[in-house]
Amino acid sequence: MSLHLGVLEEIILIILLSKEETYGFDIAVEYENQFNQTISLPAIHVVLKRLEKKDLVSTRMGEPTQERGGKRKRLYKATSKGYEAARTLQEKRTELWKGVPSFNVAAQ
């Protein structure tokens, strides 16, 4: 599979893979928990649209909720193609790391 993903696309895809189905705000919270920095919802939605165009993510509208004033949330879910893309990237990164010699900090 020769699919190019940017770093942020890969991170968001992995966050999606760790959840059954989720929406943009939950992705932002998980991103902040993992990286200790914020990410804007518009940035997340741009990435989600790109992932959807690549068929790595599917989307559907959730049911209206009273807490959102009757508005519906757009829910996202990684596809099997998304899983395969992330798994392939992980395997390639693992292989790359095998070629990195141990870094001896004490020797510096």
Would you say the pTM of this structure is higher than 0.75? Answer: yes
Mean pLDDT of all residues belonging to the chain = 90
DSSP SS3 for 13:
helix
Paired residues of 66 in beta bridges: none
Q: Are 79 and 55 in contact (CB under 8 A)?
A: yes
Indicate the pLDDT class of residue 27, thresholds 50, 70 and 90.
very high
Q: Are 42 and 31 in contact (CB under 8 A)?
A: no
Mean pLDDT of all residues in 73-102: 93
Mean pLDDT of all residues in 72-100: 93
Q: Are 41 and 28 in contact (CB under 8 A)?
A: yes
Residue 39 has pLDDT above 70, yes or no: yes
How many whole angstroms separate alpha carbon 9 and alpha carbon 57? 11
For residue 60, give the DSSP letter: E
Indicate the pLDDT class of residue 108, thresholds 50, 70 and 90.
low
